[in-house]
Amino acid sequence: MNTPDCQSRDPEIIGSMKAMERAAREARKLSRATKTLFYVMENGKIADLNHMPKWRKARRRSTSA
């Protein structure tokens, strides 16, 4: 995931984005292991990343960089 530039100088605020990214990775890993849905908001629409076709996942990674 890409981290946006943080304008805060508070170390807790700066570290919170990395913590949320770690939590999201772990949640995705858990949803794959338990074969449950993994919803995210993407371009104003709700998407289940675990049921997205592989070609679309590859395209999503290349456009989000």
Reported pTM:
0.56
Query: Would you state the pLDDT for residue 11?
Result: 85
Domain boundaries, given as residue ranges, for the chain: 11-64
6-39 per-position pLDDT tens digit: 677 888 888 898 899 899 899 999 998 988 888 9
Query: Would you state the pLDDT for residue 63?
Result: 60
Question: Is pLDDT above 80 for 56?
Answer: no
Query: Would you state the pLDDT for residue 18?
Result: 86
Question: Is pLDDT above 50 for 1?
Answer: no
Specify the DSSP element, H or E, that contains 41.
strand 39-42
Phi-psi map region of 24: left, alpha, beta (phi>0 left; psi -120 to 50 alpha): alpha
Among 40, 46, 36, smallest CA distance to 1 is for 40
